[in-house]
């Protein structure tokens, strides 16, 4: 059925009968709905928004012989849209403007002018088979060359009660970096000054890093840490190549099983977990595989319904449970490290070592993994197996065999070997709402040692033979048990949490136990919680230290002020009989809730007396500033802090809030004081630049400016930008600004008649598009206008259907409003 053609009647725009308003919309109606040229459009591919860009549109005839606007897309554009170029060799020979509509069967392009949207439809067979949430590496942005520094300074002045000596301390941390192309150079250094006036400076680590996109990995040269999935994480100086989970699409991160089935017709496949739909898609007849399910809840079987076109249904059950070591089928995670161990303890030995690990996902929910560590006096091999057991949960078991030549003080070296067995389990019980996040057990024979312990010069003992601090690397763990559980309470508000860790050690009777039990909930805005902790350290036959603390807290929202505020009460009691009670007020203030304030007053028994604290923290566009004053029966203390970032780029220096590793530089020249949405306190500086301190690497980040905060003399062509940074990049969100006055001009021709309704008026001599449509009576509203200039006015293709008009803005007055002037169009 042929589509009817709609044409707007120009007579509807006539205002009155005498004189009649001259209307000329030929530039919009002749040869198509809109004139060809450049338009900024949102690009949709198969109903999904993929980009926003300026495209050139040309007029071409469609199959019905009508003139339509067709986008000019290059081969690079089509590659960015994941078109399978290899399937259509003719596309690569087209150059900068590809005639894809005739080369790719069943493809369409619709320009929705009213919404400035380009809707492309391409058959699935013409696209690469990519997972949901996939962002092509061709769109990843390595950012601009830049120098950046993230600083955090804190200080305190304290004085003992009763006229004691005043003490002061200061601390500064600097995280500096240099970006050049895909390379990132980073340094972390700290400085401190103690109450004796002694200065201490330390360079903690320095490293050079870049992405290796083909391997979905990162190469790091310098100081960093090894992965911790198989062996304990170690600090080292050297080189490392390791997989990066964040490079994969969201739908391929974490563990999820492969859903396989057979459809008898064009079917709808719906996947549910715990009664909720987590995926729905359509498949053609035949076998199908769904490999890109998002990593969902920890466990719970997947119920798959295949709805055939004739109304019949098939039901499948795919067992599913999650554990950190499980890997998706076909996924290989790897790491290769070579360097020198950097001990965190003063008695540690710097030794060269090599570490390699592999984790691979097999069919049937099985994961295999293993690795090796090699050093001068230490070797280790590890192997493990993980299994998704569906209703029974998920489990993994691995064993590590170590050989080491131990050096204890000045005694002869001793050869040791041993094994460590590790069992980990995870399960959710849907009927009771219980989530057993992790239950683990680890057992090591007496000769087993980790690389960190083997390189400890003391060999795990103090000079007196006691274990001492068995939280250090020198402690030789015999067994370790750990449980973490969360219990929902159904209709009752809140949940219960339990955490239990118990660890004992060889060569003495040392044991450590930590228990934490808590309940937290809320009712009508009032939040409350009660928590109990117990920590027990047993370091000898007679030495035992047990701390028990129970705490209760309540927070009540207050509606007395226009800004949010809360009143709170807390009480805690320890097994030593000490009880502390605290009441407080806290809230936010100023525009955008940029100021946080808090006031507490408390009392402790057993002679400790009263205590109090007053705190203020301001989140500004260029830094975070905080201060607090506290007191108790022993001392008074004034503390203060300053945190922020400094970004040096080609256009100058931009100050900001504390920077994350990956940031966005907003560039809106001339637009000062504009707020960035969803970023508290972040505004453009006097030049129109701002730093968004947090960005997600390898993902689309929407950076939006708040149009209500724009200055009166600034207009934006677009208020939102999409950027896709790589990790550590400084990417630019570049906004086109029109800075200048607003103007209402009445355009009259040489015969005194107004320029026709529908004419286009554009400012000459500027690169940006600065134009508008002439309304009734020759009036046109323009923004971003300089003090003087010339307008080019056109309402047709003939020479007598265009003219130019010069203007000069009137002198500013105290009266607010938009200047209104007349212009002679000749």
Q: What is the pLDDT of residue 103?
A: 81
Which range (126-130, 282-286, 340-344) has the least confidence? Answer: 282-286
- Identify whether residues 720 and 750 lie together within a single domain: no
- Report whether 166 contacts 175 (CB < 8 A): no
Q: What is the pLDDT of residue 667?
A: 94
Q: What is the pLDDT of residue 357?
A: 94
Q: Are residues 720 and 776 in the same domain?
A: no
Q: Do 35 and 121 share a domain, yes or no?
A: yes
Domain containing 103 equals 27-129
Question: Which of 73-87, 337-351, 674-688, 737-751 has the highest average model confidence (pLDDT)?
Answer: 674-688
**What is the model's pTM?**
0.75
With respect to residue 159, please indicate whether it lies within any of the assigned structural domains.
no
pLDDT at 550 over 50: yes
Does residue 273 or residue 725 have the better pLDDT?
725
Q: What is the CATH number of the domain that holds 816?
A: 2.60.40.2070
Domain assignment present for residue 232? The answer is: no
pLDDT class of 32 with cuts at 50, 70, 90: very low
Q: Which residue has the higher pLDDT, 527 or 796?
A: 527
Residue with structure tokens 């015969």?
A: 751
| 229: nearest Cα among 330, 332, 299, 329 | 332
CA distance 759 to 804: 12
Taking alpha carbons only, the member of 314, 318, 311, 315 closest to residue 290 is: 318
Listed range (78-92, 167-181, 696-710) with the worst mean pLDDT? 78-92
- Most trustworthy range by pLDDT among 292-296, 337-341, 494-498, 635-639: 337-341
- Measured over the CA atoms of residue 236, residue 237, residue 243 and residue 249, the dihedral's sign is positive
What is the pLDDT averaged over residues 615-633? 89
Mean pLDDT across 499-513:
76
Is 60 exceeded by the pLDDT of residue 460?
Answer: no
Residue 287 inside a domain? The answer is yes
Least confident window among 108-122, 132-146, 406-420: 406-420
Query: What's 702's domain CATH number?
Result: 2.60.40.2610
Q: What is the pLDDT of residue 466?
A: 33
- Residue 324: HSE in the Cβ half-sphere, 13 Å Cα cutoff: 10
Identify the CATH number of the domain in which residue 266 sits. Answer: 2.60.40.3110
Work out the mean pLDDT of the chain and round it to a whole number.
Answer: 80
Question: CA distances (Å), 689 to each of 178, 666, 729, in order?
Answer: 20, 5, 17
* 86 or 219: which leads in pLDDT: 219
Among 113-117, 192-196, 458-462, 723-727, name the most confident range: 723-727
Task: Examine the domain organization and report whether 90 and 37 are in the same domain.
Answer: yes
Task: Over range 105-119, report the average pLDDT.
Answer: 83
pLDDT score recorded for residue 275: 61
Residue 231 lies in a domain: no
pLDDT over 80 at 704, yes or no: yes
Which whole number is the average pLDDT over 148-156? 89
- % residues pLDDT > 90 (the chain): 21
pLDDT exceeds 70 at position 822? yes
Q: In this predicted structure, what is the pLDDT of residue 412?
A: 66
Give the residue, 646 or 762, on which the prediction is more confident: 646
For range 29-54, the mean pLDDT? 74
Q: Would you place residue 286 in the very low, low, confident or very high pLDDT band (cuts 50, 70, 90)? A: low
Asked whether residue 608 carries a pLDDT value surpassing 50, the answer given is: yes
Report the SS3 class of residue 295: coil
More confident residue, 332 or 131: 332
For residue 484, tell me if it sits in a domain: no
Q: Could you tell me which residues come within 8 angstroms of residue 114 by beta carbon, excluding any fewer than 6 positions away?
A: none
CA atoms within 13 A on the CB side of 385: 6
Choosing from 704, 738, 772, the residue where a domain stops is: 738
CA pseudo-torsion sign 668, 669, 671, 675: positive
Using alpha carbons, select from 724, 686, 680, 687 the residue that is nearest to residue 706: 680
The answer to whether residue 802 sits within a structural domain is yes
Q: Among 96, 113, 129, which residue terminates a domain? A: 129
pLDDT of residue 5: 47
Which of 52, 36, 28, 45 shows the shortest CA–CA distance to 717?
52
Residue 241: inside a domain, yes or no? Answer: no
Is residue 378 within 8 Å of 454, Cβ to Cβ?
Answer: yes
Maximum pairwise Cα distance, the chain: 115
- Is there a single domain that holds both residue 122 and residue 33? yes
Same domain, 690 and 759: no
Give the pLDDT confidence score for residue 300 in this predicted structure: 57
pLDDT at 42: 85
Share of the chain above pLDDT 70, in %: 81
Tell me the mean pLDDT in the region 150-175: 83
pLDDT at 508: 65
Kindly state the tokens that stand for 231.
């062996």
How would residue 651 be classed by pLDDT, with cut points 50, 70 and 90?
Answer: very high
Q: Are residues 744 and 734 in the same domain?
A: no
Confidence band (pLDDT; 50, 70, 90) for 4?
A: very low
pLDDT at residue 712, as a whole number:
76
**Pairwise pLDDT comparison (23 vs 331), residue with the higher score:** 331
Q: Predicted confidence band at 25 (pLDDT cuts at 50, 70, 90)? A: low
Give the tokens for residue 516.
């934490």
CATH number at 45 reads: 3.10.20.410
Per-residue pLDDT, 1: 40
- Residues belonging to the chain: 826
Of 169 and 567, more confident: 567
The pLDDT score that the predictor gives to residue 307 is 81
In this structure, the answer to whether residues 92 and 53 fall within a common structural domain is yes
The total number of structural domains that make up the chain: 4
Per-residue confidence at 335, pLDDT binned at 50, 70, 90? very high
Average pLDDT of the segment spanning 128-137: 72
**70 shares a domain with 54:** yes
DSSP string of 26-87?
A: HHHHTTSSS-SEEEEEEEEETTEEEEEEEEEEEEEE-TTS-EEEEE---HHHHHHTTB-GGG
Of 76, 111, 129, which one is at a domain's C-terminal end?
Answer: 129
Q: Is the pLDDT of residue 462 over 50?
A: no
Of the spans 39-53, 145-159, 238-252, 254-268, which averages the highest pLDDT?
145-159
Do 795 and 721 fall within a single domain? no
Give yes or no for residue 345 having a pLDDT over 70.
Answer: no
Q: Are residues 693 and 765 in the same domain?
A: no
- CA–CA gap between residue 495 and residue 480 (Å, rounded): 27
**Predicted confidence band at 380 (pLDDT cuts at 50, 70, 90)?**
very high
3-state secondary structure of 403: strand
Question: Is residue 607 over pLDDT 50?
Answer: yes
CB 597 within 8 A of CB 628: no
| 423 within a domain of the structure (yes/no) | no
Whether 764 and 818 share a structural domain: yes
Q: Cis (ω within 30 of 0) for the bond into 19?
A: yes
* CA 524 – CA 737 distance, rounded (Å): 46
């Amino acid at each position: 059925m042929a589509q009817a053609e709609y044409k707007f009647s120009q007579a509807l725009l006539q205002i009155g009968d005498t004189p009649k308003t001259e209307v000329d919309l030929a530039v919009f109606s002749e040869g198509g709905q809109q004139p060809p040229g450049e338009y900024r459009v949102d690009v949709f591919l198969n109903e999904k928004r993929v980009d926003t860009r300026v495209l050139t549109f040309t007029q071409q005839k469609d199959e019905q012989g009508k003139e339509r606007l067709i986008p000019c897309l290059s081969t690079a554009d089509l590659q960015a849209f994941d078109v399978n170029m290899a399937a259509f060799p003719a596309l690569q020979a087209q150059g900068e403007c590809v005639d894809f509509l005739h080369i790719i069967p069943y493809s369409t392009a619709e320009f929705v002018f009213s919404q400035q949207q380009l809707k492309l439809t391409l058959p699935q067979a013409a696209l690469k088979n990519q997972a949901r949430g996939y962002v092509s590496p061709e769109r990843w942005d390595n950012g601009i060359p830049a120098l950046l520094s993230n600083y955090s300074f804190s200080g305190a002045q304290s004085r003992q009660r009763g006229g004691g000596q005043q003490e002061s301390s200061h601390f500064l941390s600097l995280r500096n970096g240099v970006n050049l192309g895909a390379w990132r150079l980073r340094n972390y250094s700290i400085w401190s000054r103690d109450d004796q006036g002694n200065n201490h400076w330390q360079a903690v680590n320095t490293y050079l890093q870049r992405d290796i996109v083909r391997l979905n990995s990162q190469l790091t040269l310098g100081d960093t840490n090894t992965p911790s999935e198989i062996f304990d994480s170690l600090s080292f100086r050297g080189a490392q190549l390791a997989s990066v989970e964040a490079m994969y699409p969201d739908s391929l991160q974490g563990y999820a099983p492969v859903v396989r089935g057979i459809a008898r017709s064009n079917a709808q496949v719906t996947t549910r977990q715990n009664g909720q739909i987590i995926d729905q898609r359509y498949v053609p007849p035949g076998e199908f595989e769904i490999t890109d399910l998002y990593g969902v809840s920890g466990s719970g079987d997947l119920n798959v319904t295949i709805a055939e076109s004739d109304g019949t249904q098939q039901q499948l059950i795919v067992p599913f449970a999650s554990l950190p070591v499980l890997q998706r089928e076909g996924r290989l995670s790897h790491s290769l490290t070579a360097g020198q161990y950097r001990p965190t303890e003063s008695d540690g030995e710097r030794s060269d070592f090599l570490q390699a690990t592999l984790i691979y996902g097999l069919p049937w929910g099985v994961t295999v993994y293993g690795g090796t560590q090699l050093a001068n006096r230490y070797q280790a091999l590890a192997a493990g197996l993980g299994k998704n057991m569906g209703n029974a949960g998920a489990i993994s078991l691995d064993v590590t065999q170590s050989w080491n030549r131990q050096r204890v003080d000045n005694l002869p070296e001793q050869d040791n070997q041993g094994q460590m067995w590790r069992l980990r389990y995870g399960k959710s019980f849907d009927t009771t709402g219980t989530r057993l996040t992790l239950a683990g057990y680890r057992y090591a024979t007496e000769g087993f040692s980790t690389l960190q312990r083997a390189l400890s010069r003391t060999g795990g003992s103090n000079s007196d033979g006691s274990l001492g601090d068995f939280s250090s690397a020198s402690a030789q763990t015999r067994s370790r048990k750990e449980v973490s559980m969360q219990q929902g309470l159904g209709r009752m508000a809140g949940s219960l949490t339990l955490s239990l860790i118990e660890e004992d050690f060889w060569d003495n009777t040392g044991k450590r136990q930590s228990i934490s039990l808590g309940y937290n909930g809320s009712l009508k805005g009032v939040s409350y919680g009660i928590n109990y902790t117990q920590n027990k350290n047993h370091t000898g036959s007679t030495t035992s230290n047990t701390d028990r603390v129970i705490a209760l807290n309540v927070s009540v929202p207050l509606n007395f002020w226009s800004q949010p505020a809360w009143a709170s009460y807390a009480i805690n009691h320890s097994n030593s009989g000490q009880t502390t009670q605290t009441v407080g007020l806290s809230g936010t203030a100023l525009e955008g809730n940029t100021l946080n304030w808090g006031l507490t007053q408390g009392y402790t028994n057993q002679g400790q007396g009263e205590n109090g604290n007053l705190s203020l923290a301001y989140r500004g566009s260029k830094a975070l500033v905080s201060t607090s004053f506290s007191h108790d029966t022993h001392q008074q203390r004034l503390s203060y802090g300053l945190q922020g970032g400094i970004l040096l780029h080609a256009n100058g220096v931009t100050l900001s809030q504390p920077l994350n590793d990956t940031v966005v530089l907003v560039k809106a020249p001339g637009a000062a004081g504009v707020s960035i949405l969803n970023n508290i306190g972040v505004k453009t500086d006097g030049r129109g630049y701002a730093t968004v301190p947090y960005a997600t690497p390898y993902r689309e980040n929407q950076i939006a400016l708040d149009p209500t905060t724009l200055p009166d003399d600034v207009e934006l062509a677009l208020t939102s930008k999409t950027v896709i940074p790589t990790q550590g990049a400084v990417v630019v969100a570049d906004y086109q600004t029109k800075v200048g006055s607003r103007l209402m001009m009445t355009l009259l021709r040489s015969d005194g008649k107004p320029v026709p309704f529908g004419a286009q008026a554009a400012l000459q001599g500027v690169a940006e598009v600065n134009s508008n449509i002439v309304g009734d009576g020759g009036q046109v509203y323009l923004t971003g206008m300089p003090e003087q200039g010339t307008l080019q006015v056109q309402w047709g293709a003939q020479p007598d259907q265009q003219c130019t008009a010069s203007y000069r803005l009137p002198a500013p007055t105290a009266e607010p409003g938009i200047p209104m002037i007349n212009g002679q169009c000749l």
